[in-house]
Amino acid sequence: MELPALEKAGAKHVNDLTDDDWAQLRRAVGDQRMLGMSLDSGGHLTHGFRPNISGKMFEQSSYGTDPATGLLDYAAVRARAKEFRPLIMMAGYSAFPRRVDFATMREIADEVGATLVVDMAHFAGLVAGKVLTGDFDPVPHAHVVTSTSHKSLRGPRGGFVLAQPEFADAVDRGCPMVLGGPLPT
């Protein structure tokens, strides 16, 4: 019988795992890859930044913005995705002051066989208020959309996940260890 990763490593908490333990764990789950917006371009800490658990669980790479325009260069995102071949393509941000074309992000994800996950916690109010519509509304384009209810939606502290039907069972099982905060869903 296979021991759970923490027990096998002799650790009581994920923070007790060494870099070698994380490497073994990533290999055990198929060296899954995640591509997200870089932190210095406005991305979120939980979208694969190495010190975060999401950055330890996945082999991670980032896409950024064009230094001259400050905008996403979708051709560069596409090239990075084709080179890196992520399982999960993360979109969304915490500090990017521009609109993201989620239709194009979905096209890129589909081209490389990735699941497009959008974290819209920081701009959910703009989606709900119909400020972000069409290609800039992530809900019709992403495979999975996550958000909080307490940030721009101004509701009680909580979170929610919207998913295409083929991802419903996986979402219903939960996502241990990678939530950004204590969010009852």
The average confidence (pLDDT) of the chain is 84
> Are 48 and 60 within 8 A, CB to CB?
yes
Rounded CA gap, 159 and 121, in Å? 9
Question: Do 19 and 74 belong to one domain?
Answer: no
CATH code of the domain covering residue 141: 3.40.640.10
Residue 119's φ and ψ, nearest 5 degrees, are -95, 110
Question: Do 63 and 141 belong to one domain?
Answer: yes
Question: Do 26 and 84 belong to one domain?
Answer: no
Q: Which residues contact 31 (CB under 8 A, 6 or more apart)?
A: 59
Taking the alpha carbons at both ends of the chain, their separation in whole angstroms is 32
pLDDT value of residue 105: 97
pLDDT value of residue 111: 98
Contacts from 170-179 at CB under 8 Å and sequence distance 24+?
A: 171/144, 177/14, 177/53, 177/57, 178/46, 178/53, 178/54, 178/57, 179/46
What is the CA angle 78-82-84, rounded to 5?
115
Residue 26, domain extent: 1-30
pLDDT in tens, 70-121: 999 999 999 999 999 999 999 988 778 889 999 999 999 999 999 999 999 8
> Are 124 and 147 within 8 A, CB to CB?
yes
Question: Do 121 and 164 belong to one domain?
Answer: yes
Whether residue 180 lies inside any domain: the answer is: no
Question: Do 12 and 76 belong to one domain?
Answer: no
What is the DSSP annotation of 77-127?
Answer: HHHHHHHH--SEEEEE-SS--S---HHHHHHHHHHHTPEEEEE-TTTHHHH
Whether residue 159 lies inside any domain: the answer is: yes
pTM for this entry: 0.81
Whether residue 179 lies inside any domain: the answer is: no
Whether residue 185 lies inside any domain: the answer is: no
Query: How many CA atoms are closer than 13 Å to the CA of 136, on its beta-carbon side?
Result: 13
- Provide the domain count of the chain: 2
Question: Do 75 and 6 belong to one domain?
Answer: no
Whether residue 182 lies inside any domain: the answer is: no
Q: Could you tell me the pLDDT band of residue 1, with boundaries at 50, 70 and 90?
A: very low
Question: Do 60 and 12 belong to one domain?
Answer: no
Rounded CA gap, 173 and 55, in Å? 21
Whether residue 25 lies inside any domain: the answer is: yes
Question: Do 107 and 150 belong to one domain?
Answer: yes
Whether residue 42 lies inside any domain: the answer is: yes
> Are 3 and 28 within 8 A, CB to CB?
no
Question: Do 7 and 75 belong to one domain?
Answer: no
Whether residue 60 lies inside any domain: the answer is: yes
What 8-state DSSP symbol labels residue 30?
A: T
Question: Do 26 and 83 belong to one domain?
Answer: no
